[in-house]
Amino acid sequence: MVENKTDDIRDLVIVGGGTAGWLMASRLAAKYQTSPDCPVKITLVESPSVKPVGVGEGTWPGMRSTLKAIGLSESDFMRECDASFKQGSKFNGWRSGNMDDSYYHPFTLPLGYDDLDMMHFVQHSPRQGSFAKAVCPQVEICQQGLAPKQITTPEYAGVVNYGYHLNAGKFAALLKRHCLEKFNVSHVLDEVVKVNGAANGDIASVSTENHGDICGDFFIDCTGFACLLLGGFYQVPFIGQRHILFADTALAVQIPYPAADSPIACVTQSTATAAGWIWDIGLTNRRGIGHVYSSDYCSEVQAEQELAAYLGHDFKGVEIKKIPIKPGYRSHAWEKNCLAVGLSAGFLEPLEASAIVQVELAADWLCLQLPANRSGMDVIAKRYNQEFSYRWQRIIDFLKLHYVLSQRRDTDFWLDNRHRDSIPDSLQELLSLWSCHYPTKNEFPRHHEIFSLYSYQYILAGMDYRSEAAYALTALEEDVARQHIMKGEQLKAQYLQHLPGHRELLEKIARYGFKGV
Spatial distance between the Cα atoms of 57 and 68, rounded to a whole number of angstroms: 19
- The answer for residues whose C-beta is within 8 angstroms of residue 233's C-beta and 6 or more apart is 195, 197, 203, 338
> According to the annotation, is 129 in a ligand binding site?
no
Which residue is catalytic, options 86, 90, 149, 176? 86
| 31 has catalytic annotation | no
- The answer for residues whose C-beta is within 8 angstroms of residue 373's C-beta and 6 or more apart is 7, 8, 9
Instruction: Tell me the sheet residues that pair with 268.
Output: 89
Nearest to 293 by CA among 315, 278, 271, 310: 278
The three-state secondary structure class of 491 is helix
Alpha helix (H) residue ranges in 340-474: 355-369, 377-404, 412-417, 425-434, 453-462
Distances (CA, A) of 185 to 27, 105, 303, 496: 11, 38, 43, 45
Spatial distance between the Cα atoms of 40 and 372, rounded to a whole number of angstroms: 10
H/E stretch holding 435 reads: none
Residues in the chain: 517
Spatial distance between the Cα atoms of 291 and 494, rounded to a whole number of angstroms: 37
Alpha helix (H) residue ranges in 418-474: 425-434, 453-462
> According to the annotation, is 356 in a ligand binding site?
yes
**Are 304 and 320 spatial neighbours (Cβ–Cβ below 8 Å)?**
yes
Three-class SS of 20-32: HHHHHHHHHHHHH
> According to the annotation, is 352 in a ligand binding site?
yes
**Are 138 and 160 spatial neighbours (Cβ–Cβ below 8 Å)?**
yes
Spatial distance between the Cα atoms of 105 and 108, rounded to a whole number of angstroms: 9
Nearest to 434 by CA among 474, 466, 387: 466
> According to the annotation, is 346 in a ligand binding site?
no
The three-state secondary structure class of 469 is coil
**Are 457 and 110 spatial neighbours (Cβ–Cβ below 8 Å)?**
yes
> According to the annotation, is 19 in a ligand binding site?
yes
> According to the annotation, is 192 in a ligand binding site?
yes
Instruction: Tell me the sheet residues that pair with 336.
Output: none
> According to the annotation, is 17 in a ligand binding site?
yes
> According to the annotation, is 195 in a ligand binding site?
no
Spatial distance between the Cα atoms of 516 and 155, rounded to a whole number of angstroms: 7
Nearest to 229 by CA among 261, 200, 204: 204
> According to the annotation, is 166 in a ligand binding site?
no
Q: Catalytic site residues?
A: 86
The annotation places the binding site for 7-chloro-L-tryptophan at 86
The annotation places the binding site for FAD at 17-20, 192, 343, 356
The annotation places the binding site for L-tryptophan at 352
The annotation places the binding site at 17-20, 86, 192, 343, 352, 356
